[in-house]
Amino acid sequence: MPAIAQEVNIYTTREPGLIQPLLDAFTAETGIAVNTVFLESGLIERVQAEGDSSPADLLMAVDFGALIDLVDAGVTQAVDSDVLESTVPASLRDADGRWFALSGRARVVYAAKELDLDSITYEQLDDEQFRGKLCIRSGQHPYNTALFAAYMARYGEEATKTWLEGIKANQARAAAGGDRDGARDIAAGVCDIAVANSYYFGLMASGAGGDEQKAWSDAVKVLLPTFEGGGTLVNVSGAAVAAHAPNRDEAVQLLEYLVSDDAQKLYAEANFEYPVSETATVHPIIAAFGDLQPDSQSLSDVLPFRARASELVDEVNFDTFGN
């Protein structure tokens, strides 16, 4: 009887095409086939409905809150791996091994190139010098609620509400659109600064988004904000081994491969994301921002503040321009 071919099945909320080069490289190195199922939404519900017979081995998500939601829903299992624990910083993984970050994206500030501004803190986003000069996407987007929750974890609810009111007062237009729109609007003179994710700049500056977006990137410089006395907020994409993984060993092997320097370099080249491995190479476009110092506050410690941060966004009418 022929041997059963090894495989690993991924359920992912991330477009599989973004990580396909890494999966192909894993298969070429190990002979283990990788099958992906893309689920834009309903990942937890699908795995729960499949129960013990679920074919899912690895669950992938693009936000730390979504990773913790997987754990809370009971659809993951703990992994004890020296490779993962020695490679992924403690602040970017679950203390009990139930999820691990695979790549990072910093919440940065795009600034007009001619602007006399070389550094900024997150606390300064409400500064009066930026009245009517700031662009940002919806406050309810996970990228922003993660930032707001991290602020609340530091300073408490009342201070966060005041800060959000200041950021709202600084808006040059309604909080809407995507992060790349901030660069577009800086280029058009609508705003002087914008809050955005680091990898979008790479996509624009590399030409991956076309000539128009390349022109947007040419109009801005990227600043790495920090919290006062802290570092830069880094959100993550990551993965967890499914609770009933039929190919558990292969899933762990794939996780360990994805944090190897070779795979982390592929992450950086394909998506302009920060590697989680400290020894992996950062793409030159991203490295040009300067030395990233990730904030030491654990993402797990930020999570309890996410729901209240979302409520505060509505309470201050963050997304309603001028009111």
Q: Is 101 exposed, middle or buried (0-12, 13-18, 19+ CB in 10 A)?
A: buried
Find out whether 200 is annotated in a ligand binding site: yes
CA distances from 106 to 36, 221, 223, 233, 236 (A): 27, 15, 10, 6, 9
Find out whether 274 is annotated in a ligand binding site: no
Helix, coil or strand: residue 105? strand
How far apart, in whole angstroms, are the C-alpha atoms of residue 102 and residue 241? 13
Helix or strand run (H / E) with residue 69: helix 64-72
What DSSP letter does each residue of 154-196 carry, written as one string? HH-HHHHHHHHHHHHHHBSS-S-S-HHHHHHHHHTTS-SEEEE
Q: How many residues does the chain have?
A: 323
Question: Cβ contacts of residue 162 below 8 Å, gap of 6+?
Answer: 126
Q: Which residue type, as a one-letter code, is found at position 162?
A: T
C-beta separation of 123 from 167 below 8 A: no
Q: Are strands 100-112 and 193-197 parallel, antiparallel or unpaired?
A: antiparallel
Helix, coil or strand: residue 38? strand
Count of CB atoms within 10 A of residue 277's CB?
A: 21
CA 62, 64, 66, 67 dihedral sign is: positive
Could you tell me which residues are annotated as the binding site? 199-200
Could you tell me which residues are annotated as the binding site for Fe cation? 199-200
